Amino acid sequence: MQPADPAHTPKDGRTVAVVADRVVLACLLALPLAITLRYLPYYALGVSGRARHTLHSLLGPSGPIGISFGIAGAALFLFMWFYPLRKRWTALRRLGNPGIWLQVHILAGLALPLAVAVHSGWRFAGIIGLGYVAMTLVVLSGVVGRYLYSHIPRRQDGVELSREAVANERRALLTRIAAATGLDPTEVGRTLHPGPERGASRGIAGTLARLVIGDLARRRAIRDLTRLWSRPRPGHPAPDPRALAEAVRLARREVALGQQVRMLEATHRVFAWWHVAHLPVAITAFLAILVHVGVAVLVGGVMPR
């Protein structure tokens, strides 16, 4: 195995972005989670018990902590609409990188349920209960949407790659893996894709199942590949660990692109259905939150209840 050529070993931006996302999400979730755990005995009480509790003026929906989370939750929820509006309005499209805006949309969406739960004191009755259910459904559906989105080959800025661009990238990856491992590119291709490639199945459940099975198979294949490439070959020096790590990283991308391209039509079809389902639930949550905020402002819901 040849030592990795630093000129052809770009820093793995995807790994850095994943770590950064996790840190930001942990920061966003830390405060509402800490408050919930710290004041669990209060949140466990019924309505009448809470009203008599000394902490009610602080933690109730209109107390300083409760209302702060309510305002932060409403602001985050309104902010969630920036991403779809940016996609639809040409004037907004010039603002920043679409991939980063989607990441911000996702992080804000994942932080929302906990912030709103602290605002409502973990009680979900009435119209806001409907809003909370709708919002939670949008968030869960968002997780599925994110999964589908990640199975469409894209550049790092989120723009979808054409089939031709994918084919070019896969060819370049094979050449680079061959250079890093000292193997022949055809042999590398055979190792990465040993069996006949199965076509995509039809239907939502079938496609999702095929995607999940493909992901698991991919992980197994990369594990086997790492083991195979780590073994010293007769007459060759021991593999260079940096070159091996680089070859495995490139192989991960190549195998992922192969799976994405095979499933592309089916993934696009399911993703289109997903868009149809995601939007109405998001609008329901929006209307319920609008009514709740309107009523709270008009009825003067700023006093502890």
Site residues (vs ligand HEM, CB under 6 A): 77, 80, 84, 87, 102, 105-106, 109-110, 112, 135, 138-139, 142-143, 145-146, 149, 275, 278-279, 282, 285
Measure the CA dihedral 286/103/158/88, to 10°.
20
Place of tokens 């010293």: 232
Instruction: Give min distance, CB of 275 to ligand HEM, in A.
Output: 4
Instruction: Give min distance, CB of 138 to ligand HEM, in A.
Output: 4
Please, which residue, 61 or 131, has the CB nearer to ligand HEM?
A: 131
Instruction: Give min distance, CB of 113 to ligand HEM, in A.
Output: 8
Instruction: Give min distance, CB of 105 to ligand HEM, in A.
Output: 6
* Inter-residue long-range contacts of 63-72, CB under 8 Å, 24+ positions, other chains counted: 63/304, 65/35, 65/118, 66/118, 66/119, 66/120, 66/121, 67/119, 67/302, 69/32, 69/115, 69/116, 69/118, 69/119, 70/116, 70/119, 70/120, 72/115
Instruction: Give min distance, CB of 6 to ligand HEM, in A.
Output: 34
Please, which residue, 278 or 292, has the CB nearer to ligand HEM?
A: 278
Instruction: Give min distance, CB of 124 to ligand HEM, in A.
Output: 15
Radius of gyration of the chain (CA): 25
Instruction: Give min distance, CB of 177 to ligand HEM, in A.
Output: 30
Instruction: Give min distance, CB of 3 to ligand HEM, in A.
Output: 39
Please, which residue, 190 or 273, has the CB nearer to ligand HEM?
A: 273
Beta carbons of 83 and 91 less than 8 angstroms apart: no
Please name the amino acid found at residue 156: Q
Place of tokens 């804000």: 108
Please, which residue, 72 or 112, has the CB nearer to ligand HEM?
A: 112
Please, which residue, 42 or 274, has the CB nearer to ligand HEM?
A: 274
Give the residue at shortest CB distance from ligand HEM.
Answer: 142
249: left (phi over 0), alpha (psi -120 to 50) or beta: alpha
Please, which residue, 77 or 229, has the CB nearer to ligand HEM?
A: 77
State the Cα–Cα distance between residues 67 and 134, nearest whole angstrom.
21
Measure the CA dihedral 216/217/222/227, to 10°.
110
State the Cα–Cα distance between residues 260 and 75, nearest whole angstrom.
36
Please, which residue, 178 or 281, has the CB nearer to ligand HEM?
A: 281
| HSE-up of residue 17 (Cα within 13 Å, Cβ side) | 14
Please, which residue, 213 or 283, has the CB nearer to ligand HEM?
A: 283
